[in-house]
Amino acid sequence: MVRRIDAIEKVTGAAIYAEDIFLPDMIYAVPLFAPHPHAKIISIDTAKAKVVRGVVGIFTASDVPGELRTGGVVQDHYIFAKDVTRYSGDVVAMIAAETLEAAREARDKVDIKFEPLPALFSPVDAMKPGAPKIHPERENNICCHYPVRHGDTDAGFKKSDKIIEREYKTQHVEHAYLEPEGCVAIANADGSVTVRGGMQHPFTAQKFTARATGLPVNKVQIIQTTLGGGFGGKDDTISIICARAAIITLKTKRPVKIIYTREESVRESYKRHPFHVKFKAGVTKDGKLQALEANIVADAGAYCSTSPFVIWRPTVQCTGPYIYPNVKCDSYAVYTNNTFTGAMRGFGSPQINFAIESFIDELAAEINADPIEFRRKNFFTQGCTTHTGQKFDNHKVAIAEVVNAALEKFDWNEKFGKCSRGAPDANGNYYGIGMACSYRGVSLGHEGKDFCAAIIKITPDAKVELEVGVAENCQGLKTVMANICAKELGVEVEKIIYKDVDTLSVPDSCPTVASRGTLVGGNAVIDAVRQIKEKMAPVAKNIGAHSSFEDIVSACHSMNIELHALGTWQGPPVSWEETTGQGNAYFTYVYGCQVVELEVEGKSGKVRVKKMLGAHDMGKAINPEMAKGQIFGGMVMGMGFGLKEEIIHKEGVIQNLNFDKYRIVTSAEVPEMEALIVENRDPAGPWGAKALGEPVNELMGGAIANALYYATGVRFRETPIKAETIRTALSLRRSISD
């Protein structure tokens, strides 16, 4: 078994997270938030705050030396609100002081005069013609739109015996990484700045910080500290916080520490996009799907962030792993005055898969078909062409394989017969099982350029220094990279010294998102090792076949052969035609299936999840135990999405800012779990490996909705499916039948 190389410092308390950095002469800064989600700022009076003992400075939009607006895709995000606030998490000022207490005390004394503006809290309202514009420079509130046109849906509906329409909705979800945002910035003597902090993608932080400070990129050094969870959530917000910290340290010439409280973190940071999905599908009597029309509207909140990518992925995957010969899909992300939304584990797929997999079961029910048989009839097959016109012939199309593996292991057939289907047992309780399956594009696809670099340096004492451009996002990336490197070089993993990403050392390798870390990082490492081996080979030949790694290294050293290599990897080509949504969206795909067994207490509507199983084709599991850990963690997070978690906005203001009201799944609720690893090695992956982190988080919502249907006979079309909702539905049904 391969152990995590970073576990030891984490169990001894030695690992350094952002909050653990203490420097001499350091000051603390806290954010002052918008007084209203959409308002005109008339004045900011800091006189009373400035005289609080210990206050060093108060910083607002007018203190930004570089660009005030930032963003990865569209630069519409104000790092300090200027003139107007657009959501309740907008930061109007940062207050820096000798102590945290002084900074907070001063914050309470800043007086902001403002005038509320008409605000938009629903994407539907925001899309209406004539709605007030959230970003005046834009034509309307539509942040982005992706169409797909494939075949002729009217013709498909004509061929169908049944046409069914349904709507599904999902909620705002908080990443709930256990470590809130934090960083420490230091102004260096040469005018450059160094920021250490917990970010998923140091290169975004570097770009944002350079843009805001006006410094050239090579004067901004970002060093990643141990990251206390990310799940897609530690990109934009933390990068903006780094930029603010840099501005303050450059002005004050003192080290600046910003550590968010949980409430500050939940208030400012982006969430998972809520989706409103409308489906219309046609199917023949014998269970063949003919046409699909999909309309997806997502709430982007106040800023664009990664919305285009988060909307594009579910557009590409809107059919699920099923062949529809005719498809028309339109997806939109829309600006509102809610908290902005962005990347979160899955990138739009937990939402769309909840809808797709609920809908498939509903379609099966409409034509009295078995949900599994119905799926099998329509599954993607080897060599099939999807609704984006991509032919699936370069990888193993394993959807049937993962579903079969999962169901067999779960005793599906036997358990499915036992479902209550709306008839409670003697105690008034219900029993049900449900499943969901998916296909998923690996890495960024057409979202971005797919590049990664790795540096290997072998020191004269035969230690191997490894640095990879993708960052540890807690998924065990370092361990996987170190293992690939060790095995390829033929040395023990203990020899590898892993260097955390330093933006001034390794080339920008695009974000560690989209579950791409293993694939792109692994390939870059393999390329670097190949170069090193080429340098070593002639020397090894000279000094004899039985010489050890150490001998060869020292021989190279004495011959002045430098064992140093920059490995790179560039993703295979992808394509996309924007107006028709046709193209080879991703260069390869993974397949997964999750199954759940649950009980519902009739009286209270409480759900007890009894068992969850995940079967995932990840190409190859480089570290099977860590892979299983990802599957368990992903399923539990998916369970929270399906049953519990929801950020509640009231007039744009978040009502549940901490864990007392935002409830995530606890150890007492976790059911028995099983993980099945399916391996169909992919030609593009290192040792055949593909991806895992996100596929495991995109299925449980749909599986739970389906299980609740086979238990209670009621179809729930909105997440989270809370006990109150279930109780109300059941008592309504009782009163109708009485």
User: Of 393, 356, 363, nearest to 377 (Cα)?
Assistant: 363
What does 497 interact with, of ligand FES, another protein, none (CB < 5 to 8 A by kind)?
none
Using the minimum distance from each CB to ligand FES, give the nearer residue, 558 or 658.
658
| Interaction between residue 629 and ligand FES (CB under 6 A) | no
Question: Beta strand pairing status for 193-197 and 220-224?
Answer: parallel
Q: Among 59, 80, 177, 710, which residue sits at the site for another protein (rule: CB under 8 A)?
A: 177
Shortest reach from residue 538's CB to another protein, in Å = 41
Rounded to a whole number of angstroms, the minimum distance from the CB of residue 224 to another protein is 13
Pick the binder of ligand FES from 35, 66, 229, 507 (CB under 6 A). Answer: 229
Binding mask 454-483 for another protein (x = CB under 8 A): --------------------xxx-------
Find the binding residues for another protein in span 594-613 (CB under 8 A).
none
Residue 235 is a binding residue for another protein (CB under 8 A): no
Q: Which does 82 bind (CB under 5 to 8 A by kind): ligand FES, another protein, none?
A: none
Nearer to another protein, 291 or 482 (CB): 482
Q: Is 54 in the site for another protein (CB under 8 A)?
A: no
12 near another protein, judged by CB under 8 A: yes
Min dist CB 261 to ligand FES, Å, is 10
Instruction: Assess contact for 467 and 455: CB atoms under 8 A.
Output: yes
Q: Which amino acid is at 272?
A: R
> Comparing C-alpha atoms, which of 676, 672, 600 is closest to residue 636?
672
Q: Are 727 and 453 in contact (CB under 8 A)?
A: no
Helix residue spans in 108-175 (DSSP H) = 123-127, 153-159
* For another protein, the closer CB: 674 or 718: 674
Q: What separation, in Å, do the N-terminal and C-terminal C-alpha atoms of the chain show?
A: 59
Nearer to another protein, 9 or 411 (CB): 9
Site size toward another protein, by CB under 8 A: 53
732 binds, among ligand FES, another protein, none (CB under 5 to 8 A by kind): none
Question: φ, ψ for residue 490 (rounded to 5)?
Answer: 80, 35
Q: Which does 73 bind (CB under 5 to 8 A by kind): ligand FES, another protein, none?
A: none
Using CB under 8 A, which of 54, 147, 229, 507 touches another protein? 229
Rounded to an integer, what distance in angstroms lies between the CA atom of residue 422 and that of residue 711? 6
591-621 in b/e burial notation, b at 16+ Cβ within 10 A? bbbbbbbbbbbbeebbbebeebbbbbbbbbb
Instruction: Extract the tokens encoding 384.
Output: 């099939």
Name residues contacting ligand FES, limited to 138-177 (CB under 6 A).
Answer: none
Q: What is the C-alpha to C-alpha distance for residues 479 and 518, in angstroms, rounded to an integer?
A: 10
Among 14, 42, 124, 178, binds ligand FES (CB under 6 A): 178
Q: Smallest gap, in angstroms, from Cβ of residue 653 to another protein?
A: 19
Choose from ligand FES, another protein, none: what does 658 bind? Cβ within 5-8 Å by kind: another protein
Cα separation, 29 vs 328, whole angstroms: 50
Is the CB of 10 or the CB of 162 nearer to another protein? 10
CA dist., res. 184 & res. 199, Å (int): 12
Q: How far apart are CA 184 and CA 198, in angstroms?
A: 10
- How big is the site for ligand FES, counted in residues (CB under 6 A)? 2
Out of another protein, ligand FES, none, what residue 17 binds, judged by CB under 5 to 8 A for its kind, is another protein
Q: Which is nearer to another protein, 170 or 479 (CB)?
A: 479
Residue 645 partner contact from another protein, ligand FES, none using kind-dependent CB cut-offs of 5 to 8 Å: none
Beta-strand runs (E) in 248-398: 256-259, 275-283, 289-301, 326-335
Pick from ligand FES, another protein, none: which does 670 bind, CB < 5 to 8 A by kind?
another protein
| Shortest Å, Cβ 157 to another protein | 42
Based on CB atoms, which residue is closest to another protein, 276 or 628?
628
Q: Cα–Cα distance between 121 and 302 in angstroms, integer?
A: 10
Q: Which is nearer to ligand FES, 261 or 404 (CB)?
A: 261
Cα–Cα distance measured from residue 612 to residue 265, given in angstroms and rounded to the nearest whole number: 31
- Using a 10 angstrom Cβ sphere, with 0-12 exposed, 13-18 middle and 19 or more buried, the burial of residue 327 is buried
Q: Where does this chain touch another protein (CB under 8 A) — which range of 80-88, 142-150, 169-177, 566-574? A: 169-177
Do 329 and 279 touch, CB atoms closer than 8 A? no
Determine the Cα–Cα distance for residues 299 and 348; give it in Å rounded to an integer: 12
* Closest to another protein by CB, 16 or 559: 16
12 is in the binding site of which of another protein, ligand FES, none (Cβ under 5 to 8 A by kind)?
another protein
CB 37, min distance to another protein, A: 24
For ligand FES, the nearest residue by Cβ is: 178
* 179 makes contact with another protein (CB under 8 A): yes
C-alpha torsion 415→416→420→422, nearest 10? 160
Other Cβ atoms within 10 Å of 433 Cβ, number: 24
CA distance 446 to 392: 16
Rounded to whole angstroms, the Cα distance separating 24 from 409 reads: 58
Chain positions 617 to 676 lying near another protein, rule: CB under 8 A, are 625-626, 628-629, 632-637, 658-660, 664, 666-668, 670, 673
Q: Examine residue 20 and tell whether it contacts another protein (CB under 8 A).
A: yes
Specify the residue, 229 or 389, whose C-beta has the smaller distance to ligand FES.
229
Which among another protein, ligand FES, none contacts residue 633 (Cβ within 5 to 8 A by kind)? another protein
732 binds ligand FES (CB under 6 A): no
Which of ligand FES, another protein, none does residue 226 bind to, with CB < 5 to 8 Å depending on kind?
Answer: another protein
Task: List Cβ neighbours of 672 (8 Å cut-off, separation of 6 or more).
Answer: 610, 611, 612
Minimum distance between the CB of residue 229 and another protein, rounded to whole angstroms?
4
Least gap, CB of 229 to ligand FES (angstroms): 5
CA angle 480/441/529 to nearest 5° reads: 30
| Other C-beta atoms lying within 10 Å of the C-beta of residue 148 | 22
CA dihedral for 516, 517, 518, 520, sign (positive or negative): positive
**Distance (Å, whole) CA 582 – CA 111:** 53
Residues that bind another protein (CB under 8 A): 3-4, 6-17, 19-20, 22, 175-180, 226-231, 261-262, 474-476, 625-626, 628-629, 632-637, 658-660, 664, 666-668, 670, 673
Residues that bind ligand FES (CB under 6 A): 178, 229
